[in-house]
Amino acid sequence: MSEEKGRIIMGKIRKRNSAGKEKPKKSLQREILEWVATLLAAVLLAMVLRTFVFELVKVDGRSMNDTLADGEIMLVTKFRYSSTWLSFPWQSDEAKENAPRFTVGGDPARFDVVICRYPGRGDTNFVKRVVGLPGDTVALKDGYLYVNGEKYDEPYINEAYRKGYINEFPEYTVPEGEYFVMGDHRNNSNDSRAQGPISRNMIVGHVVQVLFPFSGWRGVPNGLDVK
């Protein structure tokens, strides 16, 4: 038998032997470790996305009618600007408010719709519109908003919400580093008129889209872009 034919036969024998071998089974301990590692990686990825990219938040209440309705689910982006609180759900409101925070990105623009928090309310989310930037002077007269003496028609405000004593607010100058927020339902909103202005690290993210219900899918533009 030639040397070349011998090599061919030996190669076929090795292939048959290797094909007949079964892969060793993973131990139960190894399978559990792999599942735990996969779960931890998924949780870590979700935390990174929620902290730096986006978060889904449900509207609770009518304070942003008619821009946002109770029960709608919003897409809140974090990559433009955000503030993250390093706290846990089981902590008290006081502990949450004293937890470390880190703020990234730029600053909200006037008339952005944002998710924010109030002092004394822990990590409860509120959805409001930024109407006053640091240093601005804001006021409500006859139901209309004035910023630095300029009147804004705010076409997103239902005319019925302009009526009532609560729509009169004297001139107020927003302190440096703070923001004045209000709900679009001016007669039914717990906002800076009662709570005072909020600091930058109380603004969690920027509301840009309504995702659910699907029939109400739409963008949430800056107020200056609303016609």
Catalytic annotation, residues = 63, 128
Question: Are 72 and 58 contacting, i.e. CB atoms less than 8 angstroms apart?
Answer: yes
First and final C-alpha spacing in the chain: 91
Q: Which helix (DSSP H) or strand (DSSP E) does residue 60 occupy?
A: none
Across 24-58, b (16+ Cβ under 10 Å) vs e yields eeeeeeeeeeeeeeeeeeeeeeeeeebbeebbebe
For residue 227, list its beta bridge partners: none
CA 205 to chain centre: 5
For residue 101, the SS3 value is strand
98-to-157, 194, 198 alpha-carbon distances in Å:
36, 22, 15
Distance, in Å, from the CA atom of 21 to the CA atom of 185, rounded to the nearest integer, reads 72
State the Cα torsion 179-184-187-192 to the nearest 10°. -10
